[in-house]
Amino acid sequence: MSILADKKTKVLVQGITGMQASFHVKRSIAAGTKIVAGVSPQRGGTKYGGIPVFETVKEAVSATGATASVMFVPARFVKDAVKEAVEAELEVAVTIAYGVPIRDMLEIKAMLRGSKTVLIGPNTPGIITPGEACLGIFPENIHHSGNIGVISRSSTLTYEAVLETDRAGLGQSTVIGLGDDMIVGTDFVELLKRFHQDEKTKAIVLLGKLGGTFEEAAAEFYKDLPVKKPVISYVAGTAVPFDYKMGYAGDIITRGKITAEDKKEVMRRAGIIVVDSINEIHHCLQMLKGKE
């Protein structure tokens, strides 16, 4: 099993005729992804690389039964793309673009509330279930099917965590980048919940960073779980001094008083295994493996 995407997931690509999409769609198909449709205004009725192209997401869903979307659209068009995905009642949508305007993201969050759609991103490498589906831009050659779920707020560190699970000889069930932007579609809590429901996933690696209260919310949720899978966490930014120019409203308001160490302490109290170096993750995983 996996979460959000597997070999049975029918995927459509919004913005399929763009340069970025044309490159990554080929790689996604090679990785096993079942791409059934593309969406590109004024290109409906044509084919792109053998994939049928539709004018709207609703038309694509009606014709192919697609349940997930990858959006290769510029930041200024993300709001409209998400609106289409939500109105078509897609289960999952991934938006790769970075720099989506904050006002647009606030409107997007309002759209998502009460909808059937889980949005991953923006500014994310996406979702990958190794050997089954890749919705995004992951370098698929470093991923191996296994039983460790990975969730990350840092795109670059996501790849480091994947390599750590490989070093432990365990591989990944599903890997998800939440997105590096200030406001993103979903959070750790939703994905922790799904990984706990997934039989294949035996443990979870959670990568946090400064900014917001994502990690604190995850700790609160995990603390109250009646049955817990092991969670190993690393929080980036321990050595970074407060600087208002870096952004993140939560850090500016508290003048940097919510530090990486604060986040780590909250997670430790909730029962999460917290490491001080990302290179320690594979040692923790090997210890858990030895206890099975």
CB neighbours of 280 closer than 8 A, spacing ≥ 6? 234
Residue 137 lies in a domain: no
More confident residue, 212 or 251: 212
CB neighbours of 195 closer than 8 A, spacing ≥ 6? 3, 149, 151, 173, 174, 201, 204, 229
Distance CA 14, CA 34 (A): 15
* Residues 286 and 148 occupy one common structural domain: yes
Candidate from 8-17, 21-30, 237-246, 278-287 with smallest mean pLDDT:
237-246
* Residues 17 and 53 occupy one common structural domain: yes
Q: Is the peptide bond before 122 cis (omega within 30 degrees of 0)?
A: yes
CA-nearest of 163, 106, 139, 140 to 31 is 140
Domain ranges, residue 176: 144-292
Residue 130 lies in a domain: no
More confident residue, 81 or 245: 81
* Percentage with pLDDT > 90 across the chain: 79
Q: Where is the domain boundary, 71, 92, 123? A: 123
The mean predicted confidence, pLDDT, of the chain is 91
pLDDT tens string 68-118: 999 999 999 999 999 999 999 999 999 999 999 999 999 999 999 999 999
* Residues 90 and 166 occupy one common structural domain: no
* Residues 160 and 287 occupy one common structural domain: yes
Question: What average pLDDT does the segment 157-186 reach?
Answer: 95
Confidence of residue 183 (pLDDT cuts 50, 70, 90): very high
Residue 164 lies in a domain: yes
Question: What average pLDDT does the segment 220-246 reach?
Answer: 81
Residue 133 lies in a domain: no
Residue 22 lies in a domain: yes
* Residues 49 and 150 occupy one common structural domain: no
* Residues 116 and 153 occupy one common structural domain: no
Distance CA 149, CA 49 (A): 32
* Percentage with pLDDT > 70 across the chain: 92
pTM for this prediction: 0.93
Structural domain tally of the chain?
Answer: 2
Q: Three-state secondary structure along 205-241?
A: EEEEECCCCHHHHHHHHHHCCCCCCCEEEEEECCCCC
Number of helices followed by number of strands (H, E) in the chain = 10, 14
Q: Which amino acid, residue 243?
A: D
* Residues 156 and 286 occupy one common structural domain: yes
Distance CA 36, CA 64 (A): 7
* Residues 174 and 285 occupy one common structural domain: yes
Confidence of residue 241 (pLDDT cuts 50, 70, 90): low
Confidence of residue 1 (pLDDT cuts 50, 70, 90): low
* Residues 115 and 160 occupy one common structural domain: no
Structure tokens that stand for 169 in this block: 């000889």
* Residues 34 and 74 occupy one common structural domain: yes
Burial 10-43 (b: 16+ CB within 10 A, else e): bbbbbbbbbeebeebbebbbebbbbbbbbbbeee
Q: Is the per-residue pLDDT at 249 higher than 60?
A: no
Q: What is the CATH number of the domain that holds 165?
A: 3.40.50.261
Question: What average pLDDT does the segment 136-141 reach?
Answer: 90
Burial class of 45 by CB neighbour count within 10 A (0 to 12, 13 to 18, 19+): exposed
Question: What average pLDDT does the segment 122-142 reach?
Answer: 94
The pLDDT of residue 80 is: 98
Residue 18 lies in a domain: yes
Distance CA 127, CA 132 (A): 11
Residue 209 lies in a domain: yes
CA-nearest of 26, 75, 266 to 180 is 75
> What 3-state class would DSSP assign to 123?
coil
More confident residue, 257 or 230: 230
CB neighbours of 57 closer than 8 A, spacing ≥ 6? 12, 14, 39, 69, 84, 85, 87, 88, 90
More confident residue, 154 or 119: 119
Q: How many residues does the chain have?
A: 292
Q: Is the per-residue pLDDT at 292 higher than 70?
A: no
The pLDDT of residue 259 is: 82
The pLDDT of residue 257 is: 52
Kindly tell me the sign of the dihedral angle through the C-alpha atoms of 159, 96, 240, 260.
negative
Q: Is the per-residue pLDDT at 256 higher than 80?
A: no
Pairing outcome for strands 203-209 and 231-236: parallel
Residue 36 lies in a domain: yes
Question: What average pLDDT does the segment 59-74 reach?
Answer: 98
